[in-house]
Chain A
Amino acid sequence: MSQTTAIARETLLDTPGLSEAHLSQVMDRLLSRQVDAADIYFQYGRLESWVLEDGIIKEGSHSIEQGAGLRAISGEKTGFAYTDSLELSRLLDAAGAARAIAQAGQHGARAIAGSGTPPALYAPINPLDSLSEIEKLDLMRRADAEARTADPRVQEVIVSLVAAHDIILVMDNAGQISGDVRPLVRMNVQVIVEQGDKREQGSSGGGARQALDFFLQDDRAMGYAREAVRQALVNLDAVAAPAGMLPVVLGPGWPGVLLHEAVGHGLEGDFNRKGTSAFSGRIGEQVASPLCTVVDDGTLPGRRGSLTIDDEGTPSGNNVLIENGILKGYMQDKMNAHLMGVAPTGNGRRESYAHLPMPRMTNTYMLAGEHKPEEIIASVEHGIYAVNFGGGQVDITSGKFVFSANEAYLIEKGKVSHPVKGATLIGNGPEAMNRISMVGDDLALDSGVGTCGKEGQSVPVGVGQPTLKIDQLTVGGTAA
């Protein structure tokens, strides 16, 4: 048994007094009808957050999220119930409610061969304890001071620091028990700057599945402070963004939110099983320019979107979604993989025990190409260079997606010129991906800030890409 699974067993079974015999009893109850597959998911979650504002430590909060979710699957039907108590009687009640989805009769549960627990991609630590309170608050105060000394126009600084400790244990209907211990830390610096009667904001941060001293390494925290100020000052000088179809060059790293929206969601297995995605039934077809190879990789050590195992116990993978423009595969959880006759890909994720798992992204990025970033910018006569984004959104059925630039520049005659105000970019996923005409050699991943929402469930994700050029994309500025 791995150290990780041992910790998970101790926390979620031994402490509440549950034995394997108890679990078998609950599983038997879940399987006592015509159920194809079932699982029991236990979660122990602790989260601590701190906020600095007005130069003082204004708020701190501690959260407990704990319980078990029980699921029974029969064909395309799912029954689900959960409880915040780990007492046997409550688990049995929940099992009785969840199995009601299936017809009475003998169960035909699939025995799925155990995949074994892979080596952990992050240390099984509790990040809440990884720095003392004094050290945490000192780090935040230093980030505040760094932002205020960076420029006299800085009026307000808000620093937040969050540490989360999640321990999960999942038992499938074959009796296999897998556990994971998932640390997650996040720091953010937001500033308001003022010049005359103009005000602007800037924000920067990062995170990882690591201890809090991640922010002390490589000058990261101070870097977030300086970066937030730089962004806000750039935006003070921004002029109206253009409106209409233009060539768009996207910078490396976080602008990879393009891939998350334009192709990522559309390649999730549930939408494709149901035939509701613009990418449904298109495996083997050209869905992007031949310069594009896109992967979803949950195996990067310590990254925010990484998982040693997903929330169904499947080891995460490095899955090629698009190779040289050709659609290779979808992201799957167990249920959708089974119904589509393919293997699970380690993308079965859930926000918590109180939510059903579904196919979700991990770290989604495009592999590097051959061009120097300067060559890409120099190739544009009149267009936009966008280096920072807020969120995005996609309609997976029509393929329409948006993402909102919050730091962008005009490109004039092959040179980066004025900063322009934030603007939404809109396109159609497959069309936009086919219009990618240059891909840089500067692949970068984001700093660990992404959160993805789907059907009301939030999970941490990563994105990344090299500098790339889309020949035409609609830019939503005000300068018509």
Chain B
Amino acid sequence: MSQAEQISRLKQVVEDLLHEARHQGADAAEAGVSAQTGLSVTVRLGETETIEHTSDNGLGITVYFAHRKGSANTTDLRPDAIRESVAAACRIAKHTSEDPAAGLADAHRMARDVPDLDLYHPWDLDADEAAGIARDCEDAARAVDPRISNSEGATLYTQRSSFIYGNSHGFVGGYPTTRHSLSCAVIAQQGDEMQRDYWYDSSRLPAELAEPAAIGRRAAERTLARLDGRQLGTRECPVLFRADVAPSLLRSLFGAIRGHAVYRKSTFLLDQVGEQIFPDWVRISEDPLLPRGQASAPFDNEGVATGYRDLVADGVLQGYLLDSYSARKLGLQSTASAGGVRNAGIASSGQSFDELLREMDHGVVVTELMGQGTNPVTGDYSRGAAGFWVENGEMQYPVDEITVAGNLKDMFRQLLAVGSDNDIPGSIDTGSWLIERMTVGGD
């Protein structure tokens, strides 16, 4: 089936669903349908280890009877399963409570035209070709150093998806996307010590993926750098979150300004819109319309048109991440954030990674974070970490089995610099974060 045929088939499914919902008495309804196929090939120690053909369908429907809501979803798109799902959603809506905030997003906010964001670049390769690319990647990793003694393999994954969202305002929109990734994880051994690390790249376009050998070498170099790690004595000191772990700090911010956390008062950033939460040079934005962007979308999960916006400007929180429900609960307007933040980034303060090391003089560079130790209500932060000890502006030796702790409110206010070293894959654009002072737990 061609992509165009698939899109029109999915459109028909959505229209049938909305029709069926009205037939069963719903006042309003919204539905999303997706179909995805992919190929994942893993090569380990030079041999093909797994070939997975993925094929996932999904359908979700929400019906509203006045302000009572019911939802259903299914991986099975045959007519029986669709009828069962619509009936289940309608049955559930008879039991949920009247909730004035429940309903579709406002009709006038629907995306009027859906720009082509250039997200569909299929990669026609068979399992042997995929294995060849993965093998080149793993071979390069294993060739870096004799201490690279073992491997978890390299995986090439390519997928193409189509999705359609529609609702009873008459909005129906959708588009095809592709995603390709190549990852590699290897193990280094030195005496009794074993360390593992990985690297990857992902892209909408096959041609924009990093060279397989470059990904493999970076995986090996990251793994070797961990050998000979030691614990540190417990202390307070500056902490530099390297660019590859810095996105987790932005995700903590996004979690705290999510509309649902705000109306539940379960966030440490309650009532902070218009307040200074970062130093005045900090700008954090999202750009959902970025061509070929990894999280790009012309409309959000409710059909609301998306667009560029600043979340933090001059260090001041500009607004929350609102879908129509949380917006109504807070007496505000949707920010087209149903489904989350898209292509977020923090502007660099200009320093290279080496300049950040010199600026911090001494402290810990964090290159790995473990565990979920953040309390979203209080902002208390405590996580396992590994990285490097820095003295006189230079990395001295690897450290591991340490903790870094503080409070996110303080960490945001004590952000000294964001590096220009934003060479990391993924949809969040950030360099390394230098934080003035945290508690490092060790021996």
| Residues of A participating in the B interface, judged by any CB pair closer than 8 Å | 48, 53, 56-67, 76-85, 94, 97-98, 100-101, 133-134, 137, 155-156, 158, 192, 194, 199-201, 241, 243-245, 274-276, 278, 354, 356, 390-393, 395-398, 400-404, 406, 421-424, 426-428, 474-480
Contact = CB atoms under 8 A, between A and B. Distances in A.
A460 B386 CA distance: 29
- The SS class assigned to the A binding surface is strand
Given A56-B97, A133-B95, A243-B234, A398 B196 contact: yes
Contacts of B361: none
Given A423-B403, A477-B405, A402 B383 contact: yes
B96 interface: yes
Question: Interface extent on B, as a size class?
Answer: 35 or more
B276 interface: no
B69 A59 contact: yes
Contacts of A137: 95
Given A393-B371, A477-B382, A57 B51 contact: no
Contacts of A356: 50, 52
A64 B265 contact: no
Q: When A and B form their complex, which 8 residue pairs have the shortest distance between CB atoms, in order from nearest? A: A476-B403, A56-B97, A62-B88, A402-B384, A60-B92, A64-B74, A397-B196, A244-B234
A139 to B, nearest CB: 13
Contacts of A201: 266, 375-377
Contacts of B376: 201
A422 B73 contact: no
Interface in B386-438: 386, 400-407
6 contacts: A64-B84, A85-B78, A101-B51, A423-B382, A476-B373, A476-B404
Given A61-B72, A76-B49, A423-B403, 8 more contacts: A62-B73, A84-B55, A192-B265, A244-B442, A398-B196, A400-B370, A478-B405, A480-B441
B73 A63 contact: yes
A391 B372 contact: yes
Q: Which of B226, B376, B442 has the most CB of A within 10 A?
A: B442
A228 B53 CA distance: 44
Contacts of B50: 77-80, 101, 356
B49 A77 contact: yes
A249 B193 CA distance: 28
Contact of A477 (B49, B88, B402, B441): B441
Contacts of B235: 480
Contact of A62 (B71, B234, B373, B383): B71
Contact of B441 (A78, A396, A475): A475
Contacts of B231: 474
A133 B55 CA distance: 34
Q: Of residues A61, A65, A478, A480, which shows the largest number of chain B Cβ atoms within 10 Å of its Cβ?
A: A478
B443 A62 contact: no
A199 B267 CA distance: 9
Contact of A421 (B69, B93, B127, B380): B380
Contact of B236 (A60, A194, A480): A480
A402 B373 contact: yes
A417 B428 CA distance: 43
A100 B131 CA distance: 13
B57 interface: yes
